[in-house]
Amino acid sequence: MTGRPLDRIPAASAGAVQRVADLDALRAFALLGILCVNIWYFADPYAITGIPNPDYSSPVDTAVRFMASVLFEAKFYILFSFLFGYSFVLQWASAAASGASEVGRTLRRAAGLVVLGLCHGLFLFYGDILLTYGLLSLVLLGTRWISGKAAVTSASILIGAMGVFVLLTGVIAAAFEPSAPTDAGTLPPAFGLAGPPAEVIAQNLALYPIVGVNVLFLQGPIALGAFYAGLACAKQRVFEHGLSPRLLRRLTAIGLPIGLTAAILQAYLVHYVGGTGTALIAFGISTLTAPALTAGYVALLLLAFRTRRGQRLRALLAPAGKLALSNYLGQSVLMLLVFTGFGLALTNRLPPLAVLGAAALIFVLQLLASYGWVRQFRYGPLEALLRALTYWRRPTLSGATTERSESL
């Protein structure tokens, strides 16, 4: 495939230039959404089974889970993936400007993500996405010359085909599914998080290969589609040049109603209907429509960032986005300490509303820690590690940075 060569990307893409604060703030926003999805797999031992927790089945509890699904599920890893794809073009242009090989840098960075993903998935959280990102980086590298138009087409085909496939699979599964519901009360929790640390790790090791395959082959194509969408936008320098308020208002007016309507249907099927086939149908609906809601979220935030209060919000979020990799893995560490036998062992002891409160508290702590860190250091701890591997030299840590984040 042919497209714009790296040396023809607009000059602002090459080298270290002033950081685009919007990108960092959006990364932090994505981290919040991912946290509000992943936390259930620590707080609710039934989450991995897909069966409602019988200990928290009141109308209020169900309504909270319903709203969490509507607002967060399947939306924020798309944004995270979009921003990941966007960063690739900036890194390749930086390599070209310095006379370095973008191939070598990308291969080393991909290897670093694979290693971090394996460590994360095996020992912290079996729902890791970094391994998939590392492997998909190779696909993006092999097609780096793709034009912006072809990248958008590829994104649409990947996400659309995956959504239709899952939707049809769900319809077939629902047609042959037994009508009698499963009695969740007779099933033991699938993940004994409250046990001793050795037991938590052992069960994580057992679950990771199964979940990892599902992440790679179900979420992988969707993430790759989001990569291509980010790549297409980066080649046009969308965030650096800025989007017009009129376009942002249009994206908000279209994306939010369509996305929220579909998200309500998806969440209703999961939390008020149930069943494996129905869950697949819901996932198919979400796959096809979540990009609209994600685009609506982004457009609304970008509009807000242009106001005085929005600028303060952006300044509050941006430090956490600069440390996206460290914060992503840090969330798993904090959730282990709060919910498992590594710490407080609060799994299955908090109602859904309190679980979301815990997510908010964790995120606030990360915002505060990130703010303090970036005032002293150029890179986060894991960002520095990945950067050292990518550039094959020791990074300078002291002093604040104005360079773009390459953490994810």
Contact residues for 374 (Cβ-Cβ < 8 A; gap 6+):
319, 322, 323, 400, 401
3-state secondary structure (DSSP) of residue 377: strand
More confidently predicted of 15 and 76: 76
- Would 404 be classed as within a structural domain? no
Could you tell me which of 371, 327, 359, 272 has the C-alpha nearest to residue 33? Answer: 359
Phi, psi of 377 (to 5 degrees): -130, 150
Number of structural domains the chain divides into = 1
150-173 confidence digits (pLDDT tens)? 999 999 999 999 999 999 999 999
Least confident piece of the model among 17-26, 44-53, 311-320, 329-338: 17-26
pLDDT in tens, 81-98: 999 999 988 888 888 888
Terminal-to-terminal C-alpha distance of the chain: 25
Residue 300 lies in a domain: yes
**The pLDDT value given to residue 51:** 85
> Is pLDDT above 50 for 8?
no
Q: Is residue 289 part of a domain?
A: yes
Give residue 195's pLDDT band: very low, low, confident or very high (50, 70, 90). Answer: confident
Residue 147 in 3-state DSSP? coil
Q: What is the dihedral of CA 365, 368, 373, 378, to 10 degrees?
A: 110
Domain annotation covers residue 241 = yes
Predicted pLDDT at 106: 94
pLDDT exceeds cutoff 90 at 42: yes
For residue 293, CA distances in Å to 122, 151, 254, 289, 298 come to 32, 20, 9, 7, 9
90, 16 Cβ separation under 8 angstroms = no
Picking from 199, 198, 197, 129, the residue whose alpha carbon sits closest to that of residue 336 is: 197
In a domain, 65, yes or no: yes
For residue 405, being part of any structural domain is answered with: no
pLDDT at position 15: 32
Determine, yes or no, domain membership for 346. Answer: yes
The pLDDT confidence band at residue 193, using thresholds 50, 70 and 90, is confident
- Quote the CA–CA distance of 322 and 316 in Å, as a whole number: 12
User: What pLDDT band is residue 182 in, cutting at 50, 70 and 90?
Assistant: low
Range of the structural domain that residue 342 is part of: 23-391
Q: Which residues contact 89 (CB under 8 A, 6 or more apart)?
A: 9, 13, 231, 234, 235
In a domain, 398, yes or no: no
